[in-house]
Amino acid sequence: MSSNNIRFVVYPGGSLNGDLRVPGDKSISHRAIMLGSLAEGTTQVSGFLEGEDSLATLKAFRALGVEIDGPEAGRVLIHGVGMHGLKAPQGPLDLGNSGTSIRLMAGLLAGQDFDVEMVGDASLSKRPMRRVTEPLALMGANIDTAAGGTPPLYLHGGARLKGIDYTLPMASAQVKSCLLLAGLYAAGETRVTEPAPTRDHTERMLQGFGYHVLRDGATACLSGGGRLSATAIDVPADISSAAFFMVGAAIAENADILLEHVGVNPTRTGVIDILRLMGANIEVLHEHEVGGEPVADIRVRSSALKGVRIPEEWVPLAIDEFPALFVAAACATGETVLSGAAELRVKESDRIQVMADGLVKMGIKAEATPDGIVIQGGPMQGAEVDAHGDHRIAMSFAMAALRARGEVVINDCANVNTSFPGFVDLAARAGLKISNLDP
């Protein structure tokens, strides 16, 4: 969102140690605001991610007439307006860098009585939206996009939605969730079938708000016209943010960290499985359930990693963690091969190309393929690399510096604040030799 060029510099010789709690889960934070707004009663959220993405969702719902108190130290109170209580906003809703906000809200707002325009930053304005607007049109929604099927989205109010039976062409929790949220306002049943399991926070949270969602193998199904009842939500730490520290501790010398209270929903734990396949020393401790989501502490110690072929069926379960996993691959012995991951090219940046470019600058053999990458582990040198405004690229290269021989300078890091406010301070406290470079 911010356009000023924040740059990180990371010096060699750091490690990672101690007990850490990374910020709240981004996916769950978005959904808490959305469902809390539509519920009857007051929803209390703790552990909310105070990052730009989830704050964009929060501000959008305020603009839609919902009274929301906070966030204050992760606490948010949402005074729900009920399924039909949202009001027309005064102007366009700005969702910044956040694909989850715009795609989920496209579904949730498609069945309202009023028009809404949704806009985003330069990165979001390039991302594909037809994956949501096409099935929403099948439900009866009336949505305009820019010429290439990208934002801004203009939703015409007053559409009468009907449920559909839809098979997703790609494994995407955003598209699945969009259609389920539209289904709340649709006549009859909405059925969504996914080609591979993706994060199921929407289904779990709907149940938590008392809305029945039937899950039958790869299909999630709900009937429109019900109500949501306010609840309390404890947002666990985001495994996608923890992943940078998991990789960092695995590749660094003399590292031993405990990541506390991390969400370990089985649709999100691909990063643990892939790192273990590579030989990482990871323990999942004290696993228990909080508000319908599994949570655990994760201990990671220095490990000798080896290259692997990543099973394609694991890809959606680690979809946001590949930039960090590519750094692990660069530090492993031998070759790591990823395929079946073309979706990485349409994230906040083209994560295959951008990571390959940066790793090559650090002296690693990394070859992008149309749907993946082949990385040959080896020694890394210091370099100046570009995060292309992508939060996860910036944090991945920060961790790569743990094994580089020289200093690593990372350009265009401002968007780290979308998902991980306080990253530099937390990483520095744990032993990474990182600081912000003055512009």
**Does 21 show up as a binding residue in the annotation?**
no
Is 339 annotated among the ligand-binding residues?
no
- Catalytic residue chosen out of the listed positions 320, 386, 390, 412: 320
Residues in Cβ contact with 48 at an 8 Å cutoff, skipping those fewer than 6 apart: 24, 29, 32, 54, 70, 71, 74, 75, 76, 235
The CA–CA distances, whole Å, from 401 to 292, 294, 330, 391, 420 equal: 37, 32, 11, 16, 18
241 touching ligand S3P, by CB under 6 A: no
Q: Binding to ligand S3P by residue 100, rule CB under 6 A?
A: yes
- 99 annotated as ligand-binding: yes
Cα–Cα distance, 325 to 83 (Å, whole number): 41
Specify the amino acid at residue 336. Answer: T
Neighbour count for residue 409 (Cβ, 10 Å)? 17
Other beta carbons within 10 Å of 435: 14
In the complex, minimum distance from the CB of residue 173 to ligand S3P, in angstroms, rounded to a whole number: 4
Alpha-carbon gap, residue 128 to 149, rounded angstroms: 6
Closest to ligand S3P by CB, 293 or 320: 320
User: Is 301 marked as binding a ligand?
Assistant: no
Binding segment for ligand S3P (CB under 6 A), chosen from 71-79, 173-181, 349-357, 371-379, is: 173-181
Least distance (Å) between residue 101 CB and ligand S3P: 9
- C-alpha span between 346 and 354 (Å, rounded): 12
Q: Is 391 in the site for ligand S3P (CB under 6 A)?
A: no
* Tokens standing for residue 101: 């906000």
Using rule CB under 6 A, residue 319 touches ligand S3P: yes
What is residue 284's three-state secondary structure?
Answer: strand
**Among 14-22, 172-180, 188-196, 250-258, the segment contacting ligand S3P (CB under 6 A):** 172-180
Q: Is residue 199 involved in binding ligand S3P (CB under 6 A)?
A: yes
The contact mask relative to ligand S3P for 332-351 (x = CB under 6 A, - = no) is -----------x--------
What is the CB neighbour count within 10 angstroms for residue 328? 31
User: Residue 396 gets which letter from DSSP?
Assistant: H
Does 174 participate in binding ligand S3P (rule CB under 6 A)?
yes
Give yes or no for residue 418 binding ligand S3P (CB under 6 A): no
27 binds ligand S3P (CB under 6 A): yes
Contact assessment for residue 69 and residue 437, using Cβ atoms and an 8 Å cutoff? no
Distance, first Cα to last Cα, the chain: 17
* Single residue of 15, 29, 112, 177 touching ligand S3P by CB under 6 A: 177
| 351 annotated ligand-binding residue | yes
Judge whether 425 counts as a catalytic residue: no
Q: Using CB under 6 A as the criterion, what x/- string covers residues 280-309 for binding ligand S3P?
A: ------------------------------
**Could you say whether residue 320 binds ligand S3P (CB under 6 A)?**
yes
Residue 213 near residue 221, CB atoms below 8 Å: yes
Q: Please, which residues have CB within 8 angstroms of residue 159's CB and are 6 or more apart in sequence?
A: 110, 111, 140, 141, 142
Q: How far is the CB of 62 from ligand S3P (least distance, A)?
A: 20
Q: Which two three-digit tokens encode residue 95? A: 């969702």
Catalytic residues, by residue number, are 320
- Site of interaction with ligand S3P (CB under 6 A): 27, 100, 172-175, 177, 199, 319-320, 343
In the annotated binding site, the residues are 26-27, 31, 99, 127, 172, 174, 320, 347, 351, 392
